[in-house]
Chains A and B, each alone.
Chain A
Amino acid sequence: MAESLNHKPSQLGRSKIWTPHAIQDIQAKAELGHYQIRGFSTFFSIPTLDQLTFLPAALTRLPLEGYREFCETKTVLGGGKPDLVSQPLELDIPIYIASMSFGALSRNAKVALGLGASAVGTCTSTGEGGMLEDERQASKKLIYQITPSRYQLDLDHLRRADAIEIAVGQGAKPGTGGVLLGAKVIDKVVEMRQLPKGIDQRSSVRHPDFLGADDMQIKIAELRDATGYRVPIFCKLPACRVAQDVKIAAKSGVDVIVIDGMEGGTGASPEFLLDHTGIPTLAAIPAARRALEQIGMYGKVSLVVSGGLKSGADVAKALALGADAVAFGTAALIALNCNAPLYAEDYAALGTAPGYCYHCHTGRCPVGVATQDEELQKRLDPEEAGERIASFLRAVTMEATMIAKSCGKSDVHNLEPEDMRALTLEASAMTGVPLVGVDKVVAPWD
């Protein structure tokens, strides 16, 4: 009996340690001599916002008419310091497009994101690779990201930005710089980033001219001065030591803090960093809010959350936990057509299929989103894709407002932790939201 069991191929497949992926990973490293690199995000099972549920109004409070009554979605970021920021970032919805570079994404994808975001009154962000003129033209409001690599950091570009984001790190690979493999380092990218053509670019993680919080404070003052005390300064942090990092960033003088959870996506990353570094968005939001409250800066410094958010329900939960806005990265790319059931033969050539593709790193994106290949990116019409982005953002905004109205809120920003219950012990412990059934917080923070 035992002998016959040994011959069943399913036996090793049952192992939770030596999974097919673990075996493949070891064999790949034995072949390559270095870690595996891939796009997308962690595939691990981690606690998510799905572990929260809303408690809409019944008899204790009055709901608004979800299908028809008005619910405010206007969002102001960086409005807490009028003497230092004369033009805070005003958005019609509490959702914008996360920082993703031209380089990782095609020109057409960047333009489509700008057109789509503009159509619904929100903004997008340059990401690491500098300001692409076509993207600036397509985007009514654009955040200019300053990363440690400082590719094409240009004073005129800074002054044409509607906000400036100092990138300290990202949720996908905290504490490590970006990766752009050679297939994507084409002429235009070379021109903007000033790299050798075709190089496997691995960006720096430390900023070249500031190291700690005290230096960053001076850097922030420099950026304000260079841009005429007009636009807000964002700071994008990977979700790690959230409580401490948020306090340091706030005290350093930033106007908006962006917390990027470990679910955050990427065009390319060492795979093990995706899976084994950072903390989930679910845990990061309440930690950030609490940190700001403890130093008396909640409401003065805006809080934006990103990392794995995919629906209006996620938006509503993030806002209820304390965010002022959220940023969509991967979800926006999927709305562009990422993993759409088109060009199946090209997915097959990458060894994958529509719905399963994470091959952004190869530069061979079958739908023209995460590529620099001229032919492939022709498959993405910016106007048409921009409309999909706009439709998607309208739909998720509708979802978020519908939840808010069901909870009796006439402004999405009025959602609060009390509007929710946690479905699991861990979510209750992480968020301070009472556990369903017992109506108690399982592990109070203080």
Chain B
Amino acid sequence: MESVMDQVMATVLDADVLPPRYLNEQLRELMARGESVVVQNPRSRHNLGVALPGPGQVTFKGSVGYYCGGLSNGGVVEITGNAGWGIGESMARGLIRVRGSVGQSVGASLRGGTIVVEGDAGPRAGVAQKGGVVVVGGSIGFLSGFMAQRGKLIALGDAADGVGDSLYEGNIFVAGRIHGLGIDAVIARPTAEEVDDIEAIVAEVGFPLKPREWKQVIAGRKLWYFDKREGQTWLKV
């Protein structure tokens, strides 16, 4: 989205010139003032755009490394390339959009806000999620949604093996094929209201609406309590 607006309105920071520490300092200051920032040459550097405030926005022109947008309290982040591990980890508020694909643990321990991945997500997407929404346009990798406590993880593509392992109250919605469930995960048919809710989210973050076969993965709750009646489940863990 190389727009005229970017060139005219945005402050441009160059990651080839500013080390991440100083780049982030400036970024926070500008975003706290509500400004728009463009970061050129991110070149997959780690820890870019960590602990960001709202209400400003930033576009990384290229790919970022680990923990971009991690621990943030607000703001709108766009990454035009791919992203490494832990994108938006522990974020409380804000919106992150990755135009490409992401590595492991997108939205790890996410507390609030929304993360949109237009491509695929690696293993453990939405791991330990505590709130917020992660929407992945493609597939999600092994052990996604592991121990997710609350919030929604939505995959328009497939889910790899082990999805929803040891879930608490997290909700995983998969439109594609589920290749295998994690321990104590069960497939449920979402209600009409839940489907409406999910499709509204999907549309809102900009994916085209089309007929989808939604599967919901939720906790079987056999691991929630120490109880000898569930001995067979416990043997596996």
> What residues make up the interface of A, taking CB atoms closer than 8 Å to B?
31-34, 37, 148-156, 158, 181-182, 193-196, 199-200, 202, 204, 208-210, 215, 218-219, 221-222, 225-226, 229
Contact = CB atoms under 8 A, between A and B. Distances in A.
Question: Which 4 pairs of residues, A with B, have the shortest CB-CB distance?
Answer: A33-B228, A209-B86, A226-B51, A208-B108
Interface in B71-105: 71-73, 85-86, 89-90, 92, 104-105
Nearest to A220: B47
Count class of interface residues, chain B: 35 or more
Nearest to B147: A204
A37 B92 CA distance: 34
30 contacts: A33-B228, A33-B231, A34-B226, A37-B226, A150-B90, A150-B108, A150-B109, A151-B130, A153-B90, A154-B92, A155-B92, A156-B73, A158-B71, A181-B226, A194-B149, A195-B168, A199-B168, A208-B105, A208-B109, A209-B105, A209-B127, A210-B85, A221-B20, A221-B46, A221-B47, A222-B46, A222-B50, A222-B71, A225-B47, A226-B71
With a 10 A CB-CB cut-off, give which of B24, B169, B223, B226 has the most chain A CB atoms.
B226
Contacts of B56: none
Main secondary structure, interface of A, reads loop
A204 B169 CA distance: 15
Interface in B149-180: 149-150, 168-169
Per DSSP, chain B at the interface is: loop
Given A209-B108, A222-B70, A182 B225 contact: yes
Contacts of A33: 228, 231, 234
B168 A196 contact: yes
B67 A222 contact: yes
A41 B75 CA distance: 46
Given A155-B92, A209-B67, A209-B105, A34 B50 contact: no
Nearest to A221: B47
B21 interface: yes
Contacts of B124: 208
Interface string B201-218: 000000000000000000
A69 B58 CA distance: 60
A218 B71 contact: no
Contact of A155 (B73, B86, B127, B130): B73
Nearest to B232: A33
A194 B131 CA distance: 9
A148 B147 CA distance: 11
A155 B85 contact: no
Contacts of B169: 196
- Residue from A152, A156, A194, A225 whose CB has the most chain B CB atoms within 10 Å: A225
B47 A218 contact: yes
Contacts of A182: 225
B147 A209 contact: no
A225 B150 contact: no
A33 B226 CA distance: 9
A221 B130 CA distance: 24
A166 to B, nearest CB: 13
Contacts of A151: 130
B103 to A, nearest CB: 10
B150 A194 contact: yes
B142 interface: no
B128 interface: yes
B60 interface: no
A229 B21 CA distance: 9
Interface in B181-237: 223-226, 228, 231, 234
Contacts of A209: 66-67, 70, 85-86, 89, 104-105, 108-109, 127
A153 B67 contact: no
B47 A222 contact: yes
A220 to B, nearest CB: 10
Contact of A225 (B20, B130, B146, B224): B20
A286 to B, nearest CB: 35
B130 A194 contact: yes
A144 B189 CA distance: 41
B67 A218 contact: yes
Given A34-B226, A155-B51, A222-B50, 6 more contacts: A194-B131, A194-B150, A196-B224, A204-B147, A208-B124, A225-B50
Interface in B29-77: 46-47, 50-51, 65-67, 70-73
A126 B66 CA distance: 27
Given A209-B105, A218-B66, A195 B149 contact: yes
A200 B24 CA distance: 40
Contacts of A149: 128
A229 B20 CA distance: 13
Contacts of A218: 46-47, 65-67
Contacts of A156: 73
A34 B46 CA distance: 43
B71 A215 contact: no
Contacts of A194: 130-131, 149-150
Nearest to B124: A208
Nearest to B90: A153
Interface string B109-120: 101000000000
A402 to B, nearest CB: 45
B88 to A, nearest CB: 10
B131 to A, nearest CB: 7
Nearest to A32: B228
A150 B89 CA distance: 10
Contacts of A155: 51, 71-73, 90, 92
Contacts of B146: 204, 208
B168 A204 contact: no
Nearest to B46: A218
